[in-house]
Every structure is written in structure tokens, then in C-alpha cells.
Chain A
Amino acid sequence: MSALTVSQLCKSFGGLHVTTDVNLNVEPGERRLIIGPNGAGKTTLFNLITGEITPDSGSVALFGHDITRVPSRRRPHMGMARTYQIITLFPHDTIIHNVSLALLGLSTMRWNPLIDMRRQGHIVERGREALERVGLEHIAERPLAQTSYGERRRVEIAMALAQNPKVLLLDEPFAGLSIDERHDVHKLLLGIPRDVTMVMIEHNMDVALEFAERITLLHFGEVIVEGTRAEVVADPRTREVYLGH
């Protein structure tokens, strides 16, 4: 059974077809890379998979369960987590608070109006564990406003990992990072165990190609090429889309 199955997915905004008959089959434990020029519909595809936008037709299934009609907010509870290309964090709070929110999101404790959130030992502990995985535990109490861009990227990943996802969607996790930071994040992603299936959108080919086993090339909302790393790189259509000849 596939971890993530997307079939015949279509979405248009007015006359603009942003996603056209997209099919995607990601096996459990697989590392899938989605590439494509700007405006190819990569992030839209993620938004359709996570339910942030509703598809016009087609379906999305998570481990065989059709989740096309499942509300976006239920999907994290089913094991789906994502990061954002444009960093989407809580700027007024500390790093540990950000990660705690991720942890509480899956706990029934999120409805509790009476307890002190910072005094919930196991939440704080698990938050610190998640930060340790991304190498940020030493600045856990720092307000997010005082962190670097690279650190924020890692907070994004820590929040996704804290939820113990089965399927992790990474939207350009290397965007805007320095070479050193890129290296750190790359190592971090390689260290994620195989019980997590990962789908990644990335422009940065040198790190991305090393990460992925299979690659899907999107262009104008359609899947143009799909195959192993070698197949896609060798395919003339890849060159055409990227180099224009």
C-alpha cells in the first residue's frame, strides 16, 4: 500500500489550470523530490494534499484511506505534517513555545483553558527532544524574533518532526539558507528514520538530488517526467523544461 496516493487531481483558479490530472504514488519510507520551474504548481500540489485548498476533482489517499473530503485540520492527526516555503511561525513566542504548539495540536490538552501550558512537563520535554534533533535545544527559550533565518527553518522542521508524522511534506526546506546551514539541514533530513515518508519540493539540485530516490517533474501543473534520479536527470524533457532547448 502506498503511503501517499494522488489520483487524477485537478485544480484551476478561473481559467488557470494549476494542477492537471496529477498522479503520484509515494511508497512508505520513500524520499520523493518534486521539481519544476517557478509557477509549475508544486506548492499548490502540497496545498491540495494537505487540504488547505480543495481540489476540483481527483482524490488524495493516505495509507489507503481516501482523505479528499477530510478537513485540513484532521490530517495532522492522521500522520501528515508539512513545512512552509515562506516561514510560517509564531513570531511573538519562544522557540519552545512554537514547538509546544505543534505538540499540543495533536493532544486533547489543546482544548484545556485551565492549566498552565509552560508547566506541562512532558510537553516541554518532548519539545526539547524535537529541538535536540534539529540542534536548537540550547536556544529553546529564545524568542523567535531573535533567531536567524536558518534557525527558523530548523524550527519549522522541528515542529513537523515533533508531531511524529508518517508522511512529511517539505516545501523548499533549503530556500534562503547559507551553504553551511544547507549542509546542516541536509544532514538533519538524511537522519530522519525510514518510518517517515518524505516528499520534498526543492530547487536546489545539488542537495536535493542526493536526497531523493525518485523524482517527479511538474510543469504547468502537469507531471512531465517521473522516475528514478538517473532517469529524470537523463530525460531530454527535463532539460527542455529547465533549459528551454
Chain B
Amino acid sequence: MSGMGARVIALAVGFVALVTLPYWMPGIYYINVSSQILFSSIFALGLNVLAGYGGLVSLGHAGLFGIAAYATGYMLQHGFGHPVAILTALVSGLASMALYAVLSLRATGIGFIMITLALGEIIWGLAYRWISITGGDNGINLHGRPQPFGIAINTANSFYYTTLVVFLVAFAAVAVFVRSPLGAALMGTRDQSRRMTALGYHVWAIRFWACMLSGLLTAVSGVLFVYYTQFISPQALDLTASAEVLLMVISGGAGTLLGPIVGAALVIVVKSVVSGFLERWNMLLGAIFVAIVILMPEGLVPGTARLWRLAWRKAGGRAARESEPKAVSKAEAKP
């Protein structure tokens, strides 16, 4: 099977599996885990726009995620409705991302990582200490979820489907973006920023817009997260959270469309499901990451695709060799 055909079939199977998931998943707990995977995937997709396609690795994205989650909680706590809360969350997420971008896009590489890390830590510190707004260590509790188009999303199934719709929109947005001229330009600035300038591109502005897309997806994910858990505390935006989402991106395959989703599924499954059976699940996750780095340094999705192609070519080669002797014998038989 060609790579293209395999890709289309895999996507179709994945889509059908996601839509029918509540019908075959055993139990509400696993449907909730699936919801977590989906909103974590949106977060990972957002970071992947920067880290994978833009070559700008951020270690402060949990801060943005947290700002969106806190904004939602804060607005709801102060009596505003869900639409206002969600809008505030998205706007404040984007505004913080813009600030992040202005400060951190002065550098690339290690410099960018360190500035984003520092910004993320500042936001974590604010969440922890600015008690009048964030509630400090106690965090903010939510009461209830919104009702889009009058549909209550209190049950595991309804929340799952809401998350799925948002996820599919986010996925489509990133898929369209990476094929577009702006997406190509972003990858160009990752590979040859000097050349991009010499070709007439505004490298800084391209990176800035990529940051905004990344920030929007991160904020969306933060909103879904806070509605899912009904609670936000500083723990959700510490450095570990930033590192975790980065690991999702890298383990699945940075700079690929499906990689962050596979990475998110891996991390969430080990964290939520395997941790029920295995106390040292952190160690297992570590071992998995080490294995990925050794066997598929490019990440699970591109790594599997590479092995698949290799296996296919080998099988094809064998088929060709098997048919060859027959042809020779026919030719020999002629005279």
C-alpha cells in the first residue's frame, strides 16, 4: 500500500473510531480519559505549531494554558455567564501569548526556551501568590458547564462529543495552516531564516502569527480543561505541565500533524490508566520516552511510517525476487 493510501485509511479509521467511541469504550471512566486525550491533543497541536513547524521550543506554554483556565474560573466566580467567561479566557490567552511573543521572539533556540520558561514560571508564581484573584493554593472551583445551543454537557458522553467537535475544528485548522503559504513560510523560517529574509519574508511577523495560532489553541485547550475538571490550581501550570506537553509533541513527532495527538494519547493513557495498575508509572513513561528516542528519534508517527515503508519495500523486493526466477525459467524454456 502506498503511503498516501495508508494515510487516508488510517485517518478514516481514526475518525470513525472517535465518533463511535462512547459506544465501544468500556465505561464512563475511559470516555473521560478520551476527553482528556482530546483536549490535551489540542494543547499539543498548539505547541507543535511553534515547536514543530516553527522550530521555537516553548517551555512556558502551561502558563498560557493556565491563564485561559483561570480567566474562565475567575469570570464565572464573579457571576459572568459562560460565553463571557470563555471569550475572556481566549482573549486573555491570546494577549498573554502576544506578550510572550514580543519578549521571547528576540531570541531563537536556547534563548527562546529560557525566556518562555521564565515567563511560564512567573505566571505560575502569580497563580500561587496573587491569592485575591487566583485563590492561591486552593485554586478556583467551578460549578457547572456551559450549555452550547441549549444542550447540557454534564455527562461524560456529551462532554466527550463537545470536546471532539472542538478537537476536529482545531485539527482541521492546523491541517489547513501547514499547507498554506503562511505555514510554508513558518517552516521556511525554521529551516533557513536568513534565506527567508533574503526572499522578502518578515521572519519576526511570521513567527508572531504562528505564536498567536499556538496561543489560541492553547487557550481553547485550557478552557476545555477547566470545564472538564471543574477546578484550576497552580499545579496545572507548573514547569512539569509545560514539559509534559512538550514531551507529547516530541514523542509523537514534532512537525507532523498526527504526532502530537499520538503523543498526547500516550502520555494521558500512561498517566491515567496505567497509573491505576502501576505505582511507578512515571518510570514506565520515562522508559517509553527513552525507547522512542533510541528507536525512533523523529517520534512515533514518522518513525512508524518509516518502519512501515521499510517493511513494505522489503516485502515488495521479496515479491519481485520470487517472480523473477519464473520469468527466467520461461525465457529458458523458449528455445
Question: Closest Cβ of chain A: how far from B102's Cβ, in Å?
Answer: 18
Residue pair A88, B180 in contact (C-beta under 8 Å): no
Contact of A117 among B184, B192, B196, B202 (CB under 8 A): B184
Q: How far is the CB of A111 from chain B (nearest CB, A)?
A: 6
Q: Report if A163-B199 is in contact (Cβ < 8 Å); known contacts: A90-B188, A101-B185.
A: yes
With a cutoff of 8 Å between Cβ atoms, the chain B residues found around residue A107 in the complex are 181
Interchain Cβ contacts within 8 Å, total number: 88
The segment out of A69-77, A173-181, A201-209, A234-242 that lies at the interface is A69-77
Are B199 and A112 in contact, with the CB atoms below 8 A?
no
CB < 8 Å neighbour of B184 from A50, A75, A77, A104: A104
Query: In chain A, residues 94-117, which have Cβ atoms closer than 8 Å to a Cβ of chain B?
Result: 97, 100-102, 104-107, 109-117
Chain B CB within 10 A, most for which of A76, A92, A104: A104
Q: Which residues of B contact A118 (CB under 8 A)?
A: 179
The number of chain B residues with a CB under 8 A from chain A is 25
B192 contact set on A, CB distance < 8 A: 88-90
Known: A90-B191, A101-B185. A114 touches B199 (CB 8 A): no
Residue in B183, B194, B200 whose beta carbon sits within 8 Å of that of A106 in the complex: B200
- The smallest C-beta distance from B70 to any residue of chain A, in angstroms, reads 28
Residues on the B chain within 8 Å of A74, using CB:
200
| B 198-211 binary contact with A (CB < 8 Å = 1; else 0) | 11111100000100
A9 to B210, CA, bound (A): 37
Tell me if B293 is interfacial: C-beta within 8 Å of chain A. no
User: How many chain A residues have a CB neighbour from B under 8 Å?
Assistant: 38
Q: Which residue of B has the minimal Cβ distance to A107? A: B181
Are B197 and A114 neighbours in the complex by a CB distance under 8 Å? no
Residues of chain A within 8 A of B196, CB atoms compared = 101, 105
Query: Is B176 located at the chain interface by the 8 A CB criterion?
Result: yes
| B182 lies within 8 A of chain A by Cβ | yes
CA distance A88 to B194 in the complex (A): 8
B306 part of interface (Cβ distance < 8 Å): no
Q: Nearest Cβ in chain B — how far from A164, in angstroms?
A: 12
Query: Can you list 28 A-B pairs, Cβ within 8 angstroms, ordered by A?
Result: A52-B194, A52-B198, A73-B197, A74-B200, A76-B198, A76-B200, A84-B195, A88-B194, A88-B195, A90-B187, A90-B192, A91-B191, A101-B196, A104-B181, A107-B181, A110-B181, A110-B200, A110-B201, A111-B181, A111-B209, A112-B180, A112-B181, A113-B177, A114-B176, A116-B176, A117-B180, A117-B183, A163-B199
Shortest 6 CB-CB distances between A and B: which pairs?
Answer: A105-B199, A76-B200, A105-B200, A113-B182, A88-B195, A113-B180
